[in-house]
A and B are shown apart, each in its own frame.
Chain A
Amino acid sequence: MFNIQKAVSRLNFAPKLNEIEITDIKTGIGVFTPKAEKPVSFAALKETLKKAGYTLASAKITVNGKLARDAAGWSLLTDMSGQRFTLAGEGVDLALPDAAPNAQVEVTGDWKTAGEGKEVISPLPAKKAGQSHNESRDKPAKTEYVDLTSGGPLEGGPLPVAPIRTTSPGLTVYRGGAFVPRYIYIRQQLGGLKVDRHIMLLDFSYTPTPKLLVEAEIPITRISFKDSGASGSSEGVGNIIISGKYRFFRQVEAWGDRQAALRFGLELPTGKKGAPGEQQLQAPAFVRQQLSPISGGLSPHLDLTYSQAKGRFIFGGNAEVVFRSQRDGFRMGHELRINTDLEYVLFPRKYDRPGGEVFAILESNFIRRGTGRIAGASAPGSSSTEYYLAPGVQYAMHPRFVMEASYQLPVARNTGPQSLRIEQGLLVGVRILY
């Protein structure tokens, strides 16, 4: 983004380079306050960005000045630079419902140059200058511009990308940090035993470079069970997973982003291991131990992910293996997971800036789990093969704030007599990037 800042700072009305703020690295949204005494020009802004290899998609400007009216309509005259902005478009009457010549107003709107020295604003609803906050009358303009063909990966994330979804298989690597709290509800069953798991999964990630992401996942779990009169519950922290993801491949096209990443994670034996005793629940030890928040001890996770955008569709897939070690003689079986993720950008129909996207999602999960161990010995009947579908929706309210929800249901299951079966699952979460 340095090139964008450098290009804009060449303009005689632009502030110093470090006062030009890039508010969205991914798509090149920038904001700056022009010098009050200099007239501004959209055409010049567009030209300097073009000279630096960028295409200016749009610009908004906020101008404070005096209203004037002539035969051609309304215009706005700034105090310090004396520049006149023509107000045009369908929004003028709405924006200036009780306009009067010489009234001091603040107008925000789409900005264009419509000829030599003629700057035009298509306004959004205006504020009277007296009501405006932290905008001085002597600061005539504030501009926000959107560049949709920003630089290469070295500059922190390029381009006219499709709005890639940000969850599992989860390939998007930003620069900066993310906090993703998720609530997950899982209903499990085995014979008459019914188990409800409520998991609050706190995910913290940081991307020091556009290719690398480091992450920590902290699950906080409450488990309750019921079985012919017996019941109980427990809560506690599960095993924390720390991981690093390296994006080794990325090919960028407009709405055709392709990328692949490799993740290595380590599940740490931090979780609470207590399980109901035999007096509390008449069930085999391996079944009872599954009612704790952990699946075993120190366990490496290895994950290979690929995603591809094509127009409004985004496809992702990943294969993950988990090698589990025992903790106090218990572990679930080693796991192979193959997940796919198909997304469709429902809204907006016309994509001109990031934010406000709604995605329809369909995920599938294949899980093959081997035989587990209890008391250091093999637990026959604990292996399983399961396949789930999870339709969902995601709303990227802002490029840095995303909400999501999905519902998981079983399609096919072949589980051993000691393995809890998932009946349904619900996920609700938000993603906050900073």
Chain B
Amino acid sequence: MTRAAITATILVALSSLVLGQGEKPAPKLELKDVEGRALRLNDYKGKVVLLNFWATWCPPCRAEMPDLVKWQREYKSRGLQVIGITYPPEELAEVREFIKSIKVNYPIALGEEQTKAVFDKGETLPVTVVIDKKGIIREVIQGIIFPEEFEQKVKPLL
């Protein structure tokens, strides 16, 4: 298990933005990607971010990823950014092998249980957090994200 080698830092800070009622700012999130590089959620401000929590051992997670790859390709120019975050237990080698096999075209970061718990305390996987261009969490989609949900909940933000 390479979990020991995976370090993740979650920084949750109150946003100084003036928010509307019920609007929740995305936390500051710093993780390491599969190559060990830092990945900061803050760096994607101005984009519509889909934070997708997944695991190689979760069949629905694997099933939805080709759609995420497709949407990333089709809507990148309109400001969509998908970020995958793994959920333990994971073998780094398995993660690398899987994302290579389906040609994932977005960054994959290594997460811990607490990383997902920041957004969703439930036990379902996958979970996709939709963050708008202002950095506000607009949706937490539990379970596989189907095309009709993408149309309804993500496309209008682009």
- A residues sitting closer than 8 Å to B (CB atoms) are 2-3, 6-7, 10, 50-54, 149-156, 209, 252
* Residue in A closest to B58 when the chains form the complex, CB atoms: A152
Chain A residues in 8 Å Cβ range of B123? 154-156, 209
Closest 4 CB pairs of A and B: A53-B63, A53-B59, A3-B60, A53-B60
Q: List 24 A–B pairs whose Cβ atoms lie within 8 Å, in order of A's numbering.
A: A2-B142, A3-B143, A6-B142, A7-B144, A51-B146, A52-B59, A52-B60, A52-B64, A53-B60, A53-B61, A53-B62, A53-B63, A53-B144, A151-B60, A151-B125, A152-B57, A152-B58, A152-B59, A152-B61, A152-B125, A154-B58, A154-B87, A155-B124, A252-B57
B148 and A151 contact, CB distance less than 8 A: no
CB of B55 within 8 Å of the partner chain? yes
B124 and A3 contact, CB distance less than 8 A: yes
Chain A residues in 8 Å Cβ range of B87? 154
B59 and A149 contact, CB distance less than 8 A: yes
B55 and A152 contact, CB distance less than 8 A: yes
Q: Is the interface of B mostly helix, strand, loop or mixed?
A: loop
* Residue in A closest to B63 when the chains form the complex, CB atoms: A53
- CA of A152 to CA of B90 in the docked complex: distance in angstroms? 12
Interface size class of B (residues with CB under 8 A): 10 to 19
B59 and A154 contact, CB distance less than 8 A: no
- What does the 1/0 interface line of B128-156 toward A look like (CB < 8 Å)? 00000000000000111010100000000
- CA of A199 to CA of B61 in the docked complex: distance in angstroms? 48
B148 and A2 contact, CB distance less than 8 A: no
- CA of A153 to CA of B148 in the docked complex: distance in angstroms? 27
A6 and B63 contact, CB distance less than 8 A: no
- CA of A156 to CA of B122 in the docked complex: distance in angstroms? 12
Question: 8 other contacts beyond A50-B63, A52-B60, with CB at 8 A cut-off?
Answer: A3-B143, A7-B60, A52-B143, A53-B60, A53-B64, A54-B60, A151-B60, A152-B125
B46: min CB distance to chain A, Å: 31
- What does the 1/0 interface line of B42-66 toward A look like (CB < 8 Å)? 0000000000000101111111100
- CA of A156 to CA of B142 in the docked complex: distance in angstroms? 15
A54 and B59 contact, CB distance less than 8 A: yes
- CA of A152 to CA of B56 in the docked complex: distance in angstroms? 9
- CA of A150 to CA of B61 in the docked complex: distance in angstroms? 12
Q: A154 and B148 in contact (CB under 8 A), knowing A2-B143, A3-B143, A52-B60? A: no
Q: A155 and B125 in contact (CB under 8 A), knowing A51-B63, A52-B60? A: yes
- CA of A218 to CA of B124 in the docked complex: distance in angstroms? 35
- CA of A3 to CA of B127 in the docked complex: distance in angstroms? 10
B142 and A151 contact, CB distance less than 8 A: no
Interface centre among B58, B61, B144 (most CB of A within 10 A): B144
